[in-house]
Amino acid sequence: MSRSCVSTVILVCALLSSLPLSHACPKECSCNSNTKVVDCRGRGLYDIPRRLHPDTQELYLQDNRIRGLGSVAFREIPLVRILDLSNNSITSISPTALQGLRTLQRLSLAYNGIRDLDKRLLGPIRSLSHLDLSHNSLWGLPGVMGDSLKNLSYLGLANNRLTRLDRSLLDTMTHLDSITLRNNPWRCDCQLIGLKLWLETYLFKGGVVDEVLCAQPEEKKDKDLQKIPYQLFHACMTTSYHYLFANIHHLESEKLLRGGAGGMAECETKQKHRPVNLRHAIATVIITGVVCGIVCLMMLAAAVYGCAYAAIMAKYQRELKKNEELAAAQGADHATADEKEPLENAIA
């Protein structure tokens, strides 16, 4: 009898493992076997549900109490395309948490407590088009994540702790249509010139952005970075090289996009030509004018100094000559007096 029971249990387990998605759904979630959607929203979960069907394509885990994502947390669902983890309590994410999700297209980690992202987190993903990281505590994004973000059409970074953003990372997102940057403590100094230049090109191409309001320094507080004239960054010319490097990088990118595509191999996809931005040209002219003005002022100062020195020397020479003539005249008068005195004595 016991052997028969064991055989029955094994048979039941085998049958359960072969059942479709609707029969392999975690008890905390609701599943749709036709659309392959698993909905676990608002179930008070502290961890990722187990026994998810490998054909799952959409997984919704928002409004739970998940605190962290461990290594290979989603290994059971390698075909998932949409993963929503918003409004949880996530503070830590393993660098390999998303390993194996090569078809992931939409990822939301909004409304959590994430402070930083490991550069390896999105490494294997190349199909990501929507990434929402808003309402976290991010200080920055690793620049090496660019390869994983090159196909993004939307990036949400609003309501974080960003003070600057690497332009080289933004330049890799050639398909970006919309980006949110509001409510970050942006430090509008020389190191943010790259972002300002990128925003102007991005908007010129039709991109959508909300706003970048400066939090510091004090004289630029609450001002929109896009509306701050380049003249207010003149200190960068003498106190920092970031302005110059950012401008050079921008101009080189423009040059490569306009004329550098001819040298590319025929098998490579040529980049679209980026239109010249008139404001960038004006900014370059202003910079050149400032430098030329400084040089001209230095030359003028040297000329004034030379003229003043020449005038002083001329006056000195005149005074010296006048003194010499006066001394000579006085000597002649003494000589005449000496000649007259013997003659007067003789007459007497």
CATH number at residue 91: 3.80.10.10
Q: Quick check: is 130 in a domain?
A: yes
CA-CA-CA-CA torsion for 317, 321, 326, 330, nearest 10 degrees?
Answer: 130
Q: Quick check: is 243 in a domain?
A: no
Instruction: Locate 185 and state its tokens.
Output: 């403590």
Question: Which residues have a Cβ under 8 Å from the Cβ of 73 and sit 6 or more positions away?
Answer: 48, 94, 97, 98
Give, as one character, the DSSP assignment of residue 153.
S
Q: Quick check: is 175 in a domain?
A: yes
Radius of gyration over alpha carbons of the chain, in Å?
39
Q: Quick check: is 214 in a domain?
A: no
Whole domain around residue 33: which residue ranges?
A: 25-184
Query: d(Cα 160, Cα 179) in Å, to the nearest integer?
Result: 14
Query: d(Cα 161, Cα 216) in Å, to the nearest integer?
Result: 13
Q: Quick check: is 291 in a domain?
A: no
Task: Tell me: cis bond preceding 26? Omega within 30 of 0 counts.
Answer: no
Q: Quick check: is 44 in a domain?
A: yes
- What total of structural domains would you count in the chain? 1
Instruction: Give the residue ranges of the chain where pLDDT is below 50.
Output: 1-2, 5-6, 9-23, 239-241, 260-276, 343, 348
User: What pLDDT is stored for residue 147 in this prediction?
Assistant: 79
CA 311 to chain centre: 56
Instruction: Locate 238 and state its tokens.
Output: 């003498």
Q: Quick check: is 257 in a domain?
A: no
Residues in the chain: 348
Q: 103: how many CB neighbours lie within 10 A of its CB?
A: 14
Q: Quick check: is 346 in a domain?
A: no
Q: 283: how many CB neighbours lie within 10 A of its CB?
A: 22
For residue range 15-50, what is the model confidence (pLDDT) as tens digits? 444 444 444 789 999 999 999 999 999 999 999 998
